[in-house]
Amino acid sequence: MTLTLESTNNSISQKARRYFTPLLFMAGDYLAILATGSLAIKLYGLSLNSSYIYLWLPLTFIIFLAQNRAYTAMQPFIYTVRSIFYAVTYGLLACVVAIYFFTDWQAARSFFVVFWLVALILLWLERFATSLWLKRAHHLYEEIILVGAGRTAERTLHFFQNDLGYRYHVTGMIDDNPISAKLVNKYPIFGKVCESEQIIKEQKCQTVIITAPGMEKEKLQKLIVSVQPLVRNLAYVPDLIGTPMIDVKAQVLFTEEILMLHMHNNLAVRRNKIYKRVFEQVSVNNLVRQCCEYALSNMKSTIQK
């Protein structure tokens, strides 16, 4: 894949896309859950009221998918995979509780296991196929403006381009001194950072991403305050490049306006230490065995010679 983002191939307005995209994914999820229910019931030779199959069952899982942010417009695709996993698990538990307390319908325990596995597989495949089609056909892209045209902007766009969860169309960039030749040759530079407010008003873009982690603190705060009332979505890249970010969770201290990042230490749990120790021992033993075998083979060949 290249670094550039292609233009969109449809004429749907930006406002309509905000509602049409979740509806498209909901329709696909409905069909996946419907196929799962029909397949599982047919495999076990069970009978169920059609209203449950066509309405209540899909509706339950769609509600849990929405609660787990599976219909968020733009997020990494791995987040969508995780959201589907939790939504299917909790949705199935809710269905089991409802069946136990409110109906006399009975099924084998393996039925629910099969239903859970098939639902996960079909939903993942459906989401992957839909996202891949939207990405390659360049449909339902969201227009954005980037503030900053440096290395960080290049890396950000590279991630957006290679992740199925993002469909961004860059209309232009804002930077005082753009240093990326690739971005300057591909996208128009609307103006300087001090002109951001006027530029965003003229462009009527509802999503702005600030990719300038080296910007001065006061300048960044002033930029955020001036831009935030004009757009629907505002994101910025903090100065954390090079910091380990695996399993990091953000917590906002609202009254003090502080962003706190929590890093979870997996080795603080004893079982994880045991797993690590076993893995290291197995790896070392395999390495020693391979080295011994290699040394013996060399000795044999030397003796034979």
**pLDDT tens, position by position, 138-184:** 988 999 999 999 998 998 999 999 999 999 999 999 999 898 889 99
Q: Give pLDDT, residue 17.
A: 78
Are residues 101 and 58 part of one domain?
A: yes
* Cα dihedral 44, 49, 50, 54 sign: negative
Do 36 and 127 fall into the same domain? yes
Q: What is the chain's mean pLDDT, rounded?
A: 84
Q: Confirm whether 257 is domain-assigned.
A: no
DSSP string, the chain: --S--PPPS----HHHHHHHHHHHHHHHHHHHHHHHHHHHHHHHT----HHIIIIIHHHHHHHHHHHTTTT-SS--HHHHHHHHHHHHHHHHHHHHHHHHHH------HHHHHHHHHHHHHHHHHHHHHHHHHHHHHT-S-EEEEEE--SHHHHHHHHHHHH-TT--EEEEEEE-SS---HHHHHHS-EEE-GGGHHHHHHHHT-SEEEE--TTS-HHHHHHHHHHHGGG-SEEEE--S-TTS--TTEEEEEEGGGTEEEEEE--GGGSHHHHHHHHHHHHHHHHHHHHHHHHHHHHHHHHHHH-
Over residues 54-78, the mean pLDDT reads 91
Give yes or no: residues 131 and 157 share one domain.
no
Is 121 a member of any domain?
yes
What is the Cα–Cα distance from 34 to 40, expressed in whole angstroms? 10
Whether residues 41 and 126 share a domain: the answer is yes
- 9 assigned to some structural domain: no
23 and 133 in a single domain? The answer is: yes
- What is d(CA 91, CA 25) in angstroms, rounded to the nearest whole number? 17
Query: Does 46 lie in the same domain as 155?
Result: no
Q: Are residues 196 and 222 in the same domain?
A: yes
User: At 238, which amino acid appears?
Assistant: P
pLDDT of residue 1: 36
pTM, two decimal places: 0.76
Does 261 map to a domain? Answer: no
Q: Return the pLDDT at 47.
A: 84
User: How many structural domains compose the chain?
Assistant: 3
pLDDT digits (tens, 9 = 90+) for 229-273: 999 888 888 877 666 666 677 766 555 566 666 666 666 667 767
In a domain, 57, yes or no: yes
Please indicate, yes or no, whether residues 149 and 132 belong to a single structural domain of this protein: no
Q: What's the pLDDT at 238? A: 82
150 and 216, same domain (yes or no): yes
Question: What confidence tens digit (pLDDT) does each residue in 72-113 have?
Answer: 878 889 989 999 999 999 999 999 898 888 777 788 889 999
Domain of 169 in residue numbering reads as: 142-244
For residue 240, which phi and psi values (nearest 5 degrees)? -130, 20
Same domain? 54 vs 87: yes
Please report, to the nearest 10 degrees, the dihedral formed by the alpha carbons of residues 11, 17, 23, 25 taken in order.
Answer: 90
| Residues 61, 169 within the same domain | no
pLDDT class of 15 with cuts at 50, 70, 90 = confident
Residue 253, domain member (yes or no): no
Structure tokens at 174: 């804002």
